[in-house]
Amino acid sequence: MLATADAAVQLATSRKRTGNGWITPFIGKNRNTIAPGEAPPADGVLYPVAFLVEKDAGAVVKVHFHSADQYQVVIQGGGSLGKHEIGTVAVHYTDAYSAYGPIVANDRGVSWFTLRNTWDPGARYMPEQRHVLREARATISHREATCGPLPPLSVGALAALKADTAEAVIAETEDGLCTWRYTVPAGGSVTGPDPVSGGGQYWLVSGGSASVPGGELLSAQSLVFVGPDEPASVLTAGPGGADLICMQFPRRARD
């Protein structure tokens, strides 16, 4: 399963106003976009879901958890997530049934991608859902992993690149969780890690532009999802170079 979503297209066609910000679906359906009466995907089945959340200045999201593994990637603005200060580009991972937050936007607001590889029915807020969290602790332990902020390279810095770089910014675990950052000069290509080692990968075009084989050039803040049964992904930088973040889920969800 390979899916791409160009930020320029999604923001122009799918951005919707909410009570304290905006939400834009990128890949898959979530609880807000699934059709009435449509059956959601089964638990544990590989099903990529990605959407952009934009919160107004001062907005607060209470402490909560989800039943799916999840990455959140801050791409604009800042504030705090629990004890962590967040800014562009901060990466935050939580296992299913790991409570986190609150998320508090600063005076510039904050925007982040929510990235999942399985279906999730929606946030479960604390302390009302504490009993559910306690029951889950019998089989699932709490895990969080963070890195950043990793500001995208400037236009000038991308243009000056002479060779690609690769760095693990969240160290790989035994079950395959890992996050890498790549910088690629104009027209250059990088091959990502073998997806079979994890439960699916999201690539974020953090800066510049890039494409997958046979695909259109993707603008900054675009996404690519690579399933665990796909070959290692090859991304080619556009004419201005590319700054890329690859986020791999642990081995759980499969087709």
Exposure string (b/e) for 224-249, b if CB count within 10 Å is 16 or more? bbbbbeeeebebbbbebbbbbbbbbb
User: Beta-carbon neighbour count of residue 165 at 10 Å?
Assistant: 12
Q: pLDDT tens digits for 161-185?
A: 999 999 999 999 999 999 999 999 9
Sign of the C-alpha dihedral, residues 85, 89, 93, 97?
positive
pLDDT higher than 70, residue 145: yes
Please state, in angstroms and rounded to a whole number, the distance separating the CA atoms of residues 224 and 169: 19
Q: What is the pLDDT of residue 196?
A: 95
> Which residues have C-beta within 8 Å of that of residue 140, sequence separation ≥ 6?
95, 96, 97
Q: Band of the pLDDT at 1, cuts 50, 70, 90?
A: confident
Q: pLDDT tens digits for 54-106?
A: 999 999 999 999 999 999 999 999 999 998 889 999 999 999 999 999 999 99
Q: What is the pLDDT of residue 136?
A: 87
Q: Band of the pLDDT at 139, cuts 50, 70, 90?
A: confident
For tokens 């925007």, name the residue.
Answer: 111
Sign of the C-alpha dihedral, residues 111, 149, 86, 142?
positive
Q: Band of the pLDDT at 150, cuts 50, 70, 90?
A: very high
Residue 174 class from Cβ within 10 Å (0-12 exposed, 13-18 middle, 19+ buried)? exposed
pLDDT higher than 60, residue 255: no
Token pair for residue 154? Answer: 């400037």
pLDDT higher than 60, residue 135: yes
Where do the domains of the chain lie, and which CATH numbers do they carry?
A: 2-147 (2.60.120.10), 155-248 (2.60.120.10)
Q: Band of the pLDDT at 253, cuts 50, 70, 90?
A: low
Q: Band of the pLDDT at 44, cuts 50, 70, 90?
A: confident
pLDDT higher than 90, residue 194: yes
> Which residues have C-beta within 8 Å of that of residue 255, sequence separation ≥ 6?
1, 45, 46, 227, 229
SS3 110: strand
The pLDDT of 115-120, averaged and rounded, is 96
Q: Band of the pLDDT at 254, cuts 50, 70, 90?
A: low
> Which of the pair, 37 or 201, is modelled with greater confidence?
201
Q: Band of the pLDDT at 140, cuts 50, 70, 90?
A: confident
Q: What is the pLDDT of residue 92?
A: 96
8 Å CB contact between 243 and 165: no
